[in-house]
Amino acid sequence: MGEFDLIARYFTRPTPRAVLGVGDDCALLQPAPGTQLAISSDMLVEGRHFFADVDPGALGHKALAVNLSDLAACGARPLAFTLALALPRVDERWLAGFSGGLLALADAHGCELVGGDTTQGPLNICITVFGEVPVVGGQGRALLRAGARAGDDVYVSGTLGDARLALDALRGRIALPAGLLAQARARLERPTPRVALGQALRGVATAALDVSDGLLGDLGHLLGKSRVGATLDTSLAIELLASRAHPAWAARLFSLKMQLECVLAGGDDYELAFTAPASARDAVQAAARQAATPVTRIGRIDAAPGLRLVDGQGRPVAGRYASFDHFA
Ligand code: ADP
Ligand code: MG
């Protein structure tokens, strides 16, 4: 099978929303009147972002999910994406699985594959997504990292830390009972981009971003852009680890320190972290209900820069939790 047959068979689909999809030199998109385009790229490299033997359907899902998560963080509605793919060889079983996982998630979000590039080389997947955000009164309504104010609440969507738990298990660093590993592994391999929540939070949240490298590091970016600090309650944050509620969870196996390490510094969660004034608590919960995505308040924004960890009684919690950094 040649390059063009491969594109036609696995990556060419009807694109009713795009003006022009796969097959020409450019795709053509028409953003709705009164919207701005939100654009983001993410690259996945074998051995770096995924194991060589990962299920191809899960990989296709994740490759798009991490990009949709960036749109979600900005409160954008997905529109289209392009796929740049380097493949070591043509493996039709792999291609069918990969494109199946990829396009199922694309369909679920009405996000159309409109073009890309295909080349031979070490497995590498690069996706660029395009989304729309409304412009109201000449002002774009995207959620940004800047905008958090002293006194705002700090929230996180869904659950945190389970992807890291799975990663540690798959690397043989810890042992997890089978049922628990399956649950945690689903979080690592098939993350859920919080697309509906991001859109519901427009006009409610003061700042937002998605948690891809670890909560403390990512939140640090939001605090930096907003020129504020924060205090997080670790007794609330630790409850975000979904594995704790699994029947097979044996807390004695995992120290509190390790659980906090997963929640505060584990990457690959693709949840949203965001801030909103205390006066918007009802509006935040209404947005969460509308998006059918739970959100948890875990702290507050301070005027003083820096990130402080406290326990349930407000006493300082010691410890350093480093987020993932490719070049650190
Ligand atoms: P060009 O000659 O402009 O580089 P190509 O010959 O690489 O274009 O690709 C032909 C068409 O197929 C283009 O419309 C391109 O966007 C599309 N395409 C190439 N690879 C992919 C892919 N992996 N997924 C989706 N569309 C692709
Ligand atoms: Mg061309």
- CA 117 – ligand 2 centroid, Å: 10
Of all residues in the chain, what percent carry a pLDDT higher than 90? 88
Contacts of 280 (CB under 8 A, 6+ apart): 204
Q: Are 80 and 114 in contact (CB under 8 A)?
A: yes
Q: Atom 13 of ligand 1 has which residue's CA nearest to it?
A: 23
With 70 as the cut, is the pLDDT of residue 203 above it? yes
Q: How far apart are CA 234 and CA 247, in angstroms?
A: 23
Residues 165 and 295 in one domain: yes
Considering its fold, how many domains does the chain have in total? 2
Domain assignment of residue 111, given as a range: 3-140
Q: Are 52 and 46 in contact (CB under 8 A)?
A: yes
- CA 15 – ligand 1 centroid, Å: 15
Residues 92 and 214 in one domain: no
Residues 157 and 127 in one domain: no
Q: Atom 22 of ligand 1 has which residue's CA nearest to it?
A: 116
Q: Is 115 in the pocket of ligand 1 (CB under 6 A)?
A: yes
Q: Does residue 319 form part of some domain?
A: no
Q: Atom 10 of ligand 1 has which residue's CA nearest to it?
A: 23
Task: State which ligand 1 atom lies nearest to the alpha carbon of 113.
Answer: 25
Q: Is 240 in the pocket of ligand 1 (CB under 6 A)?
A: no
Residue 59 pLDDT:
97
Residues 51 and 185 in one domain: no
Residues 297 and 172 in one domain: yes
Residue 8 pLDDT:
94
Task: State which ligand 1 atom lies nearest to the alpha carbon of 23.
Answer: 14
With 60 as the cut, is the pLDDT of residue 328 above it? no
Residues 235 and 136 in one domain: no
Q: Does residue 327 form part of some domain?
A: no
**Stretch (H or E) spanning 140:** strand 139-140
Q: Does residue 328 form part of some domain?
A: no
Please give the mean pLDDT across all residues of the chain: 94
Residues 270 and 306 in one domain: yes
Q: How far apart are CA 328 and CA 294, in angstroms?
A: 33
Q: Does residue 147 form part of some domain?
A: no
With 60 as the cut, is the pLDDT of residue 233 above it? yes
Residues 162 and 128 in one domain: no
Residue 179 pLDDT:
93
Q: Of 94, 109, 140, which residue is a domain's last?
A: 140
Q: Is 7 in the pocket of ligand 1 (CB under 6 A)?
A: yes
- CA 7 – ligand 1 centroid, Å: 7
pLDDT tens-digit readout, 114-166: 999 999 999 999 999 999 999 999 999 999 999 999 999 999 999 999 999 99
With 60 as the cut, is the pLDDT of residue 327 above it? no
Q: Of 140, 170, 204, which residue is a domain's last?
A: 140
pLDDT tens-digit readout, 49-71: 888 889 999 999 999 999 999 99
Closest CA to 112 of 18, 183, 199: 18
Residues 116 and 223 in one domain: no
CATH number reported for the structural domain that contains residue 297 in this entry: 3.90.650.10
Residue 210 pLDDT:
98
Indicate the top mutation candidate among 94, 117, 127 to test ligand 1's pocket, ranked by most ligand atoms within 8 A of CB.
117
**Lowest pLDDT segment from 9-18, 21-30, 45-54:** 45-54
Q: Is 127 in the pocket of ligand 1 (CB under 6 A)?
A: no
Residues 131 and 206 in one domain: no
Read off the pLDDT of each residue in 168-175 and give the average, rounded to a whole number: 92
Q: Atom 8 of ligand 1 has which residue's CA nearest to it?
A: 25
Q: Are 81 and 125 in contact (CB under 8 A)?
A: no
- Residue 312: pLDDT band by 50, 70, 90 thresholds? very high
pLDDT tens-digit readout, 234-284: 999 999 999 999 988 877 678 888 999 999 999 999 999 999 999 999 999
Contacts of 223 (CB under 8 A, 6+ apart): 148, 229, 230, 301, 305, 306, 307
Q: Of 119, 140, 161, which residue is a domain's last?
A: 140
CATH number reported for the structural domain that contains residue 126 in this entry: 3.30.1330.10
Q: Does residue 193 form part of some domain?
A: yes
Ligand number nearest to the C-alpha of 4: 1
Q: Atom 21 of ligand 1 has which residue's CA nearest to it?
A: 116
Residues 88 and 176 in one domain: no
Q: Is 85 in the pocket of ligand 1 (CB under 6 A)?
A: yes
Residues 169 and 97 in one domain: no
